[in-house]
Amino acid sequence: MTTKKKIFLAAILLGIVAAVLFITFFAAEEKIGPGSAQTPEKAQKGAQTTVTAERRRVTEWYDAVGTVIPATQARIEPRVAAQVTEVLVQAGDRVDKKEVMVRLEDAQFDARLSQARQSLQAAISEKEQARQSVSSAEAAFSQARSSHERITKFYEVEAATEQEFEQVRSRFLQARAALQRAREALSGAAAGIRMAEEKVAEAKIFRGYTTITAPGQGEVLKRLVDPGDMAMPGKPLLILRTADGLQLEAGVREGLMSKVKPGNTYSVHLTALNTTVEAVIDEVVPFIDPQTRTFVVKASLPAVEGVYPGMYGKLLIPSREVPVILLPPAAVRRSGQLELVTVKSDDGWLQRYVKTGKPYGDKVEILSGLKEGEIVALAKRGSDDR
């Protein structure tokens, strides 16, 4: 190898070593650990002004997870067993009171109504016959009574024999008994008519159960049957929201039962809409679920566009007040997963690792790494490490 080549290679090696030393020196100077000092001039390059870490008592909130439900809803169920012949509504349809929603097969109920009406006609005929029997019995009784009265007078003056008197008296008693039986039969026929009329009314009612109407103005939430399905008592056909208004039904931990009362107003965060509204507690169920250790709370929601039953929401309940250290978010810099603040000390400005918590208004909670009263520099916009 020639001397010139050796000199050239040596120069390249020296240049590489010098570059490594330069990079190592300046890189090490930029790495600052917790509590390490930095000159005031270097720290102040990223700060506009300073703030003091303050301790303040704030309210901790318990997030009760819940679901949006209708304020009032009805499970529309049939009262008779019959096949579904027609469904006139779909989920989302608005219905008015007494509007027909479902029709059931009514042939068997028509037959029952026809039979009841025939029974009524038979009872009316029986009553008419009983009335005629009463008329005949009254005429016979009147005649027997007249004969009895006449013979009795004759018998008293010995103008009639005892045998004649006994015969007339026997006919009189028989006529009176026959009249009594005729009147009882008439009363029975009248009772039969009333019973037959009740059966006709009952048959009409059961036939009316085959036409299912809306109990009030509302909105169909679910349609659970189709034509051809068998409708049975206890098996819902539709789910109907019968009044405007929605509620949030949430489970609240048992330790807060003494604090949550009907009439209280709390915030509700609707996640899907990313909005928070105020809700009033309508109902507190006084029962603790032994599995979840929670009780049910229902809070009425204000009218909000885009809110539907089934949506997810959180009821925000104040649980306790705790002291926390607060800083403006601008005082915290982020370097990857790390959070740092620039703190003033007797030795100058230090960079210190901290851990932030929940936001409280325009401040953020400092969980660790900072004490009350320490002075912190506010970083300029764009000075976060990337």
For 328, other C-beta atoms within 10 Å of its C-beta total 12
pLDDT of residue 236: 94
Residue with tokens 């209708």: 70
Q: Which domain holds residue 114?
A: 107-208
- Looking at per-residue confidence, does 46 or 288 come out higher? 288
- Give the pLDDT score at 187: 87
Give the count of domains, the chain: 3
386 falls within a domain: no
Q: What share of the chain is helix, strand, coil (3-state, %, to 5)?
A: 35, 35, 25
- Cα separation, 337 vs 129, in Å, equals 102
pLDDT-based confidence at residue 230 (cuts at 50, 70, 90)? very high
Q: What are the tens digits of pLDDT across the range 299-324?
A: 999 988 889 889 999 999 998 888 88
Span of 21-25, 235-239, 323-327 with lowest mean pLDDT:
21-25
Are 118 and 152 in the same domain? Answer: yes
Question: What CATH code is carried by the domain that includes residue 293?
Answer: 2.40.30.170
Residues 118 and 198 in one domain: yes
Is residue 44 domain-resident?
Answer: no
Side-chain half-sphere CA neighbours of 61 within 13 A:
14
Confidence label for 101 from pLDDT (cuts 50, 70 and 90): very high
Cβ atoms of 121 and 96 closer than 8 Å: no
Is there a domain that residue 120 lies in?
yes
Among 321, 337, 363, the domain-final residue is: 321
**Quick one: pLDDT at residue 90?**
93
Over residues 332-342, mean pLDDT: 89
Is the pLDDT assigned to residue 10 strictly greater than 80? Answer: no
Q: Is the pLDDT of residue 39 over 80?
A: no
Cα dihedral 271→277→278→284 (10° resolution): -30
Position 44 pLDDT exceeds 50: no
Q: Given phi > 0 = left and psi -120 to 50 = alpha, else beta, which region is 306?
A: left
- Asked if residue 364 belongs to a domain, the reply is no
* CATH label of the domain that carries residue 94: 2.40.50.100
Amino acid at 57: R
Residue 348 lies in a domain: no
pLDDT over 70, % of the chain: 85
Q: What is the pLDDT of residues 176-193, one digit of tens each?
A: 888 888 888 888 888 888
In this structure, is residue 332 part of a structural domain?
no
The mean pLDDT of 43-48, rounded to a whole number, is 45
Reading the block at residue 67, the tokens are 């679901």
Asked if residue 166 is part of any domain, the answer here is: yes
Q: What is the pLDDT of residue 380?
A: 62
Contact between 337 and 301 under an 8 Å Cβ cutoff? The reply is no
Query: Which pLDDT does position 296 carry in this prediction?
Result: 96
pTM (predicted TM-score): 0.54
Residue 134 has pLDDT above 80, yes or no: yes
Highest mean pLDDT among 137-141, 164-168, 226-230: 226-230
Residue 47 has pLDDT above 60, yes or no: no
Does residue 39 fall inside a structural domain?
no
Location of structure tokens 């764009």: 382
Residues 249 and 228 in one domain: no
- Tokens 């901790």 locate to 60
Looking at residue 64, what is its pLDDT?
94
Burial class (CB in 10 A: 0-12, 13-18, 19+), 50: middle
**Average confidence score pLDDT of the chain:** 83
Average pLDDT over residues 194-209: 91
33: left (phi over 0), alpha (psi -120 to 50) or beta: beta
Q: What pLDDT does residue 295 have?
A: 95
Return d(Cα 103, Cα 87) in angstroms, integer. Answer: 7
Q: How far apart are CA 54 and CA 7, in angstroms?
A: 64
